[in-house]
Amino acid sequence: MRNVGLDLSSSALRFLSRLLNARRRELGTRWRRLPPDRQALLVLAHLRCGHTYAQLAAGFGVGTSTVARYVAEAVEVLAALAPDLATAIRAAARKAFVILDGTLPPIDRVAADRPYHSGKHKKHGMNVQVIADPFGRLLWASAALPGAVHDIHAARTHGIIDALAEAGVRCWADKAYQGAGGTVRVPYRGRWEKLSAGQQAVNRSHAKIRALGEQAMATLKAWRLLRKPQCSTTRITALVHAALTLHLNTSR
């Protein structure tokens, strides 16, 4: 797929094409302007590269309203296949531990939109919780909450902390999850010079483990549309879950 400017394996195109073809058979669709493989290519160009509807309409020879319908349909199909938390926890139970962290896809908002402003990141966005395996591979991503929601509150809202504890899955997280309890491990708090040598050693080891979680964040951010979504906040969850489905089913 590099010849069309997409840094994705052809498996992503084949996977989405199969889903769209099945969707058309389910709906009894007889004819459309673009066949399933071309619709899949259009959608991947939008999600991965951030091409606008107008750019895609011109490139694929269809109207912008058709592009919008094609994208919405594909995102819906993909998002429906994203694993829920229970499924992710079952996968996590086979790992030595997992890494929990939050990411903030930024959005355009004015200063008055306080529910979307993250004090931690100093910008407006949506809070998405991410679980990664010990190698930093993405296992699960949550629904998006307003950016003002703190990471620990978001984790509790989604039931992540309780689910990990019930399954006995050890979890490493940063200071934003202080007080989470259960199986969540966080670094020691306090100024570095006031920590004991043992506490400093623990925090260094802890930081090395958590750093691997950045790879999971990079996996989501590789989808350019999620770097700064230009859509309604209500659609961001579907976009995140669509990207998660594509990653889990087509990554090598």
Measure Cα distances from 59 to 13, 17, 45, 140 in Å.
Answer: 17, 19, 11, 33
Q: How far apart are CA 129 and CA 98, in angstroms?
A: 13
Sequence-distant (6+) residues with CB within 8 A of 16 are: 40, 43, 44, 74, 78, 246
pLDDT of 107 reads: 82
Q: How far apart are CA 128 and CA 56, in angstroms?
A: 28
Q: What is the DSSP letter of 193?
A: G
Select from 65, 98, 77, 53 the least CA-distant residue to 216: 98
Neighbour-count burial of 121, counting CB atoms closer than 10 A to its CB (0-12 exposed, 13-18 middle, 19+ buried): middle
pLDDT of 2 reads: 43
Provide the H-helix boundaries in the chain.
10-27, 36-49, 53-60, 64-79, 85-92, 151-158, 160-167, 197-211, 213-221, 236-250
Residue 8 — φ and ψ, nearest 5°? Answer: -130, 155
pLDDT of 114 reads: 74
pLDDT of 1 reads: 47
pLDDT of 8 reads: 75
3-state secondary structure of 99: strand
Q: What is the DSSP letter of 141?
A: E
Q: How far apart are CA 21 and CA 15, in angstroms?
A: 10
pLDDT of 113 reads: 66
Q: Decide if 184 contacts 166 (C-beta within 8 A).
A: no
- Tens digit of pLDDT at every position of the chain (252 positions): 444 556 677 899 999 999 999 999 998 887 889 999 999 999 999 999 889 999 999 999 999 999 999 999 999 999 999 999 999 999 999 999 999 999 998 887 655 567 888 877 788 889 999 999 999 999 999 999 999 999 999 999 999 999 999 999 999 999 999 999 999 999 999 899 889 999 999 999 999 998 888 888 888 888 888 887 777 788 999 999 999 999 999 876
Q: How far apart are CA 1 and CA 22, in angstroms?
A: 22
Neighbour-count burial of 124, counting CB atoms closer than 10 A to its CB (0-12 exposed, 13-18 middle, 19+ buried): buried
